[in-house]
Chains A and B, each alone.
Chain A
Amino acid sequence: MILPSCSSDDDIQIVDSFDASINLKATYNGQPLVIGNTYTYENDLPIFFTQLKFYLSNIVLIQEDGQQVELAEVEVVNFTNVNGNEAMASQGLDLGFSSIPEGEYVAIEFGVGVAPDLNNTEPSDYSSSHPLGETADYWSAWDSYIFTKIEGKADPSQNGSFDLGFVYHIGSDQFYRSIKLSQAISISTENQDLPSIEIDFYKLLARSSTDFMDIETNSAVHNELDLMSYVMDNFENAVALQ
């Protein structure tokens, strides 16, 4: 596909554009995270995850001069099925984008959650195949999409019973977080590689062995504003270029 673009001296240049995708992997302490597999959390707590899902908004590539090229307005990243087995977990999932103009970029930026302008809309505004068309991910009591759902089970008695469920649902504008990852990204005939990104779900819940979400005392985060920011603030650290 060919896109016209204006250069500084007002000549019309013809710029090629390409399709490319970002690979996303869920990890736990650096290992590919498999839904249903048991991991050790702080306090030696055995846990496994049952649902891992979040929205990304305003995904853009940034040029050296600060100009932005939008890759997508909003996408939903759902590891719940993708991570069903080891092979799928190490493969991760791909978010595909089309018509990315040829060029040299210095960073990728996105928001975790649904950007405030989009968060003013509701699932009934979309078809059900649209990322924002899913009624399961909209919480009317907040007037907001559920930006992230992290669910799983823990086994405090360590006898295999896994009788403690944990459910972290977070949403509403104040919890929207922007993340910028710097890396030289070149889009050209020779090269259409976008970065691969890892999201470490241990780091999403824990900052260090002394500063972490206590799953046993806070097994549900839904209206607890401080804990909601705690998790959303952690995205910055949990997300890394591979």
Chain B
Amino acid sequence: MSKSSFFKAIFFSVLIGISACMDDEMQPPVLASGTDLTAISYTPQDYDLQIPAGFPQMEIPSDNPLTVDGVQLGHFLFFDPILSADSTMSCASCHLPEAGFTDNQAVSTGVAGIAGKRSSMSLLNIGFFNKGLFWDGRVATLEEQALLPIEDPIELHEDWPNVVSKFQNSPFYQEWFRKAFGIENSDEITKELAVKAIAQYERTLISANSKFDKIFYQNDPSVIIEDDEYNGYIMFFDDAYAGAFVEAECGHCHNMPLFTTNDYFNNGIDSVSTYEDFADVGLGAVTGAQLDIGKFRAPSLRNIEFTAPYMHDGRFETLEEVMDHYNSGGHNFINTDPLIKEIGLSEVQKQDIIAFLKMLSDTTYLSNPHFQNPF
């Protein structure tokens, strides 16, 4: 504690004392119940977010600019099991760095041991996903999203007043909420501030150092594309004017640079004959439109090698199974996307596309402490 802030702290308590004494009825002084934090220095510094070459600009809400300490607080919160009912799980339990921030399970299981119906999603480059979050797009912002897992019975199964009081009573979090948001008393710690910090951290989870990036965006002459990768690229993006290749149409829904358009489609994985047959209505539950039933967001394919199993319910174990699905044309239904049709890839061509998908793996983030458990 610096000298001046120490005096500030004393000065404040004296003031409160005086005003209380001047009260007509001479009530006992109403002291704030929390801890005064003004002695801790608050010197917010802009966080220098590096947007990779070729990437779109990131939309950041004006009421939650990234600061160095805000991101750091979010980093702690993301990995801290203090957020769960029995202190066993954190966000990172279902969004593990080594699994591309997924959990490698078909569907996630929360603290209460209850399995959900959907597969965890990668949080790498999450700050660029601007057409709704979750598989069905039901929330708009990361701030709004982060409110949900805490109280979700199939996730952290805790309640916010409880979590907030854990923060308010923790000298560690008192200090970090002060540094991140300039609050003056531990009473001012709220769930709104907690989710702001988590969202700030999430926006920094940028991964753009794959072999594809090095060749395509960074023009690194030391990185050479192999034949199979190149063939896969051609088919993925229909860049085949000559007849030797098959157009696999992938790029229309998984477009570069994010390898998603962030749009919602029925990619034909479900065999249905009526809209009622969809086990999970997906986007339809959000928009209420019949044509949207059974549509899910096309996920980014960056780091797809690390995030098996695949699809919203984790039905495919391997990329080979995914390729078999697309190659077959999947199941046609009224709202199956027009791009989903039998492709006619040979076994070699399927492997070429998988080789291309593996070019999208970025392992460099894994050795960066910013993406690891800070505790």
Contacts and interface: CB of A to CB of B under 8 A. Distances in A.
B6 interface: no
Contact of B334 (A122, A162, A167, A219): A162
Interface stretch (B65-73, B177-185, B186-194, B257-265): B257-265
Is the contact region of chain A dominated by helix, strand, or loop, or is it mixed? mixed
Contacts of B205: none
A181 to B, nearest CB: 31
A141 interface: yes
Contact of A124 (B54, B238, B335): B54
Contact of B239 (A124, A127, A141): A141
Given A135-B258, A167-B339, A153 B334 contact: yes
Contacts of B341: 165, 219
Contacts of B256: 135, 140
Nearest to B298: A136
B56 A135 contact: yes
Interface residues of B, number: 36
Interface string A146-187: 000001110000000111011101000000000000000000
A220 B341 CA distance: 11
B57 A126 contact: yes
B133 to A, nearest CB: 15
B238 A151 contact: no
B240 A133 contact: no
Contacts of B59: 127-129
B229 to A, nearest CB: 16
Interface string A15-54: 0000000000000000000011000000000000010000
A136 B238 contact: no
B55 interface: yes
A79 interface: no
Contact of A35 (B54, B258, B291): B291
Given A50-B338, A123-B56, A140 B291 contact: no
A152 B291 CA distance: 12
A153 B335 CA distance: 9
B247 interface: yes
Contact of A153 (B249, B261, B338): B338
A141 B235 CA distance: 11
A124 B334 CA distance: 35
A110 interface: no
A122 B249 CA distance: 21
B55 A128 contact: no
A223 interface: yes
B56 A152 contact: no
Contacts of A169: 252
Contact of A223 (B56, B238, B251, B257): B238
Interface string B239-253: 111000001010110
B339 A165 contact: yes
B340 interface: yes
A40 B263 CA distance: 28
B238 A222 contact: yes
B332 interface: yes
A161 B57 contact: no
B338 A136 contact: no
B291 A36 contact: yes
A50 B290 CA distance: 13
Contacts of B56: 123-124, 126, 128, 133, 135
A166 to B, nearest CB: 6
Given A123-B56, A128-B130, A223-B240, A167 B252 contact: yes
17 contacts: A50-B291, A127-B57, A127-B59, A128-B56, A136-B261, A139-B255, A140-B256, A141-B238, A152-B338, A153-B334, A165-B337, A165-B339, A219-B338, A219-B341, A220-B247, A220-B249, A223-B238
Which 5 residue pairs are nearest across A and B when measured between Cβ atoms?
A: A165-B338, A136-B261, A141-B239, A163-B332, A36-B291
Given A124-B51, A135-B261, A165-B337, 5 more contacts: A50-B337, A122-B54, A128-B59, A165-B339, A223-B238
